[in-house]
Amino acid sequence: MKWFVPGRLEVLGKHTDYAGGRSLLAAVDRGITITLEDSDKGFRASTTAVPGELELTPGTPSELPKGHWGNYVQATLDRLHLNFGELKPARLVIDSNLPLASGMSSSSALVVAVALAVIDHNDIRERAEWKANIHDDIDLAGYMATMENGLTFGTLEGLRGVGTFGGSEDHTAMLCCHEGKLTEFTFCPIEEGTSVDLPAEWSFVVAVSGVLAEKTGSALESYNNASLRARELAEAWNDATGREDAVLADALASDEDALEGLRAIAASDEGLTKRLTAFVTESEVAIPQAVKALQAGDFEAFGRAADLSQRNADEQLGNQIPETNRLQALARELGATASAGFGAGFGGSVWALVKTEGATAFADKWLAAYVAEYPKVAETASTIVTRPGGPARRL
């Protein structure tokens, strides 16, 4: 059997999902294709990107080095084994046309692809424990996110995951977005909001900065710190008010004066103050402005909302680097209607919204201007042109 799982484009929504905030998302027209074949014994996994084949045993540590792609496969097998018992042996062959460590979430796409294939291979959807916890694609996205962050989902017990303290944005985009549309979601729990058509005359150009943003590599501590600071804010709020709000968004929604109260709680800690400002600006200001602009067909206003998101990410969230800031500025200077960095940050990519008919020429000009300023990334920086694609599907 074969499954295709798209990468995702986080149009806006930097580090908002795990705190219960908004994201504006699209699946893209590139992704991972996984082929599953029967096997006589155990699990074997390979990728067309590198030679060799891994031998993996569900429930048994693989001892692969940190950052190895096989850790995502192992974590997925381990979680399914824990929740649903013995798994039938299989051989997995993975092919991808997503740029690695670029913010388009190749790692989460790998988790989703492996999970979907193994779930079908074992008829897990027919199990009573599956039916008790997973009723639709929204639930499925939430469950697959816990394969990475290690949390329990309903009665499906959690496991160590891959060491990231992230949310379910990536998995939601891959399973629940719609072809040709940008969709707003809120999280904790996941709820689908407004979908807006992106006319065929518009396309996204994605520039990969060439600076790796590997959540299992050197950026892991910084990535997780953004999550931990949001959690710290919610805990401080609960301590001060006696409430039991699960995430930062719940605290903000609890009372019309909650923002003022949270600012007072964070006032003595510059890091917490910036984290609060980053969340509120992105989730409560930039994204509502962007959705309203798209509904009205006002792409200039959409561009201003994206500019706000980029400044906020740089000055408050602190997850941008000189390369991604310059890519965003260059895109605007070269005539992009809108542009912003996306993904975990600390490297990664920037999108630019341009007219489809000139997208390839824009991509070439953008990359050339960037590499001229940052020649050290000439071998690793790249661009692709993409539009919103459909969700994961069996081929």
R_g of the chain computed on alpha carbons: 21
- The CB density around residue 297, as the number of other CB atoms within 10 Å, is 11
pLDDT single digits (tens) 52-93: 999 999 999 888 998 899 999 999 999 999 999 999 999 999
User: From CA 175, how far away is CA 172, in angstroms rounded?
Assistant: 5
Owner of token pair 């805990």: 235
Go through 325-343 and write b for each residue having 16 or more CB atoms within 10 A of its CB, e for each that does not: bbbbebbbeeebbbbbbbb
Q: Is the dihedral of CA 287, 292, 295, 298 positive or negative?
A: negative
Nearest by Cα to 80 from 11, 20, 129: 129
Distances (CA, A) of 78 to 11, 57, 160: 32, 8, 9
Distances (CA, A) of 246 to 225, 263, 352: 18, 18, 35
Strands 22-38 and 43-47: unpaired
Using the predicted structure, report yes or no on whether residue 163 has a pLDDT greater than 60.
no
Tell me 356's DSSP state.
G
Characterise 177 by phi-psi region: left (phi > 0), alpha (psi -120 to 50), beta (else).
beta
* pLDDT number for residue 226: 84
pLDDT single digits (tens) 10-47: 999 999 999 999 999 999 999 999 999 999 889 999 99
User: CB of 123 within 8 A of CB of 130?
Assistant: no
Domains in the chain and their CATH numbers? 2-195 (3.30.230.10), 197-393 (3.30.70.890)
User: From CA 54, how far away is CA 77, in angstroms rounded?
Assistant: 13
For residue 327, name the pLDDT band (cuts at 50, 70, 90): very high
User: From CA 139, how far away is CA 88, in angstroms rounded?
Assistant: 24
What is the pTM (predicted TM-score) of this model? 0.92
pLDDT single digits (tens) 115-131: 999 999 999 999 999 99
- The CB density around residue 40, as the number of other CB atoms within 10 Å, is 6
For residue 216, name the pLDDT band (cuts at 50, 70, 90): very low
Q: What are phi and psi of 317, to 5 degrees?
A: -70, -35
